[in-house]
Amino acid sequence: MPEKTEATLIREVLKGKRECFRPLVERYQSKVFVLANGLLGNGPEAQDIAQEAFLLAFQKLRELEDPEKFGSWLYGITRNLCYNARRSRKIETEPYDESYHQHMANVIAMRPPGEEGESITAVMLRRLERMPDKYRDLLRLKYVEDYSYQEIAEMLDLPVDLVRSRLFEGRRILRERMEETRSEEYGR
């Protein structure tokens, strides 16, 4: 039996067959979760937001004008929930912390050669968390699921060209900061 299209499933849900909503959840759950995790950087919270996004989508399904655009509409709901969550918990990029920087350089210097990688990872994660939102959101999506530029553009509602340039810029900034860390390490 061929898989029902999203538009067909949505029409069935609107007719009252709420079980038809389940395949839509199964189809989008991974992407919605990864998007929420990318925007919030917090797994448990991302899972809660993902569930809330589906519940809201169900409640507002009649407002969806074009059933073919269910995916991007759902991503929009997810983004809004994430931005609200960010505002309510007042996420702010941490100020530059020189002592942490020094500490991580020490950790790298003190590790035996075989364990160096783990420290670099920790520094890179910290660097990533300190990036401006516009780069960090994109980089998280790229790194966690290796989505294509087109998919990321759809999830964040951005032009593909902007996704391409921001990913490029973001990575360059990240690399440069890593280079700075290494220079400090060698310079000690």
Partner 1 sequence: MAAKGCCTEWEQELVLYGDGELAKDGSERVERHLHKCQECSSFYNEMVREENLISGALRRQAAPFAPRDAFSESVMMALEARSPETVWTRLQNYLHELTVVTYVRTRPHMAAAISLLICLAGALIAPQINTPSEDHYIHVTRNGKVFRVSLLEPIHVWNAEGEFFELPDGSILYATAGTWFSLEAFQEGGGAASVGSDRLISLKSGELFVDVRPAKEAFSILTTNSRTTVFGTQFYVGVQVGVDKHTTVGVRQGRVIVEKQARNQLGSTVLTDGEETHVISRNSKVTLSAPDTIDPELLARLNRFYDARSDRTMQRLEPNLPAIEGEIIPAAADSLETALIPSAT
Interacting residue ranges for partner 1, rule: CB under 8 A = 14-16, 18-19, 21-22, 25-26, 29-30, 33-34, 37, 41, 43-44, 46-52, 54-55, 58-59, 62, 84-85, 88, 117, 120-122, 124-125, 128, 140, 142-144, 146, 148-149, 164, 167-168, 171-172, 175-176, 178-179
Give the residue with the Cβ less far from partner 1, 69 or 86: 86
C-beta of 187: minimal distance to partner 1 in Å? 16
C-beta of 14: minimal distance to partner 1 in Å? 7
Give the residue with the Cβ less far from partner 1, 69 or 126: 126
Give the residue with the Cβ less far from partner 1, 19 or 98: 19
The CA distance from 40 to 85, in Å, is 8
Report the candidate in 173, 81, 180 with the shortest Cα–Cα distance to residue 135: 173
C-beta of 151: minimal distance to partner 1 in Å? 11
Query: DSSP 3-state helix, strand, coil percentages of the chain (rounded to 5)?
Result: 80, 0, 20
The CA distance from 14 to 43, in Å, is 32
